Amino acid sequence: MRTPIAVTIAGSDSSGGAGIQADLKTFAAFGVYGASVITALTAQNTQGVKAIQDVPPDFIAAQMDAVFSDLAVGAVKIGMLSQPAVIRAVAAGLDRHDQTDVVLDPVMIAASGDRLLVPEAVDVLRRELIPHALVITPNLPEAAALLDTAPATNEGEMRDQVEHLLALGPRAVLIKGGHSAAPESVDIFFDGTVELRLPAPRIDTNNTHGTGCTLSSAIAAGLAKGLKLVEAIGEAKAYVTLAIAGADRLTIGSGHGPVHHFHAWWR
């Protein structure tokens, strides 16, 4: 029986709540073996990002070649890519290794408000990486940045933005509504044919660090296990909702704490 394997290509979060660390925890929670390609080192905690050290593009390429040449990878999650050269290195690596089940979380700003993607990299992300994605998972501010417009304020505007994002070249779009002021947190999925409205109760907690990373890596985990995209998204949404609901069972730091990746196992 084949062991399901997923790879995260993302930055490291020294506080463990987001990035590579959140992705590997999520893979483990889904029973998926996780490998990683680290694109940046961050010095951060629950209060914010203190410093960023980018990994050289040639070393990112070397990590990708090492992992993909040996492991039978079932899905790829991509997170923080802060520089144009890094984005190009990742896109080229996906081409070299024929990776198509790619979940792209266009990480631009941390939960603390710190910028994680330089402005000049946005156009490179649009042109050179988004067309590689099976699905992209922007939140409302990220979707607005990709489209150079204002963030959506209602579900109708979210649907309009999903269609414009789909025109950038991914095979599907999942726009996340967690930043909205609505009583429900509603995500909208569209692949050109199937549209889904994915509501969840809005949970009153300050501990939401790593939510986007966790959702995208949960989708990748489902794909690695052989689920269809819509099934993987449904399971990922349910998992993240419970991880947020369980977040206050943890006491981590004094700022925006992490979601509870192991809410089903830790007592």
**Residue 211 bears catalytic tag:** yes
> Which is catalytic among the residues 210, 222, 246, 257?
210
Cα gap 251→4, rounded to integer Å: 32
Q: Examine residue 267 and state whether it is found in any structural domain, yes or no.
A: no
Average pLDDT over residues 252-256: 92
Q: Examine residue 227 and state whether it is found in any structural domain, yes or no.
A: yes
> Which is catalytic among the residues 11, 137, 213, 246?
213
pLDDT single digits (tens) 128-156: 999 999 999 999 999 998 999 999 999 99
Q: Examine residue 259 and state whether it is found in any structural domain, yes or no.
A: no
Cα gap 234→79, rounded to integer Å: 20
Cα gap 207→246, rounded to integer Å: 9
Q: Examine residue 117 and state whether it is found in any structural domain, yes or no.
A: yes
| CATH number of the CATH domain containing 193 | 3.40.1190.20
Cα gap 203→172, rounded to integer Å: 27
Q: Examine residue 81 and state whether it is found in any structural domain, yes or no.
A: yes
**pLDDT, position 2:** 86
The residue among 263, 262, 258 whose CA lies nearest residue 16 is 258
**pLDDT, position 110:** 58
Residue 168 DSSP label: T
**pLDDT, position 56:** 97
Give Cβ neighbours of residue 54 (< 8 Å, ≥ 6 apart): 39, 40, 82, 83, 86
Domain that holds residue 54: 5-249
Q: Which residue has the tokens 């095979």?
A: 171
**Residue 176 bears catalytic tag:** yes
Q: Examine residue 36 and state whether it is found in any structural domain, yes or no.
A: yes
> Which is catalytic among the residues 42, 46, 211, 214?
211
pLDDT single digits (tens) 166-217: 999 999 999 998 766 667 889 999 999 999 999 988 888 889 999 999 999 9
Total number of domains in the chain:
1
Q: Examine residue 263 and state whether it is found in any structural domain, yes or no.
A: no
> Which is catalytic among the residues 208, 214, 222, 257?
208
Q: Examine residue 255 and state whether it is found in any structural domain, yes or no.
A: no
> Which is catalytic among the residues 176, 214, 241, 246?
176
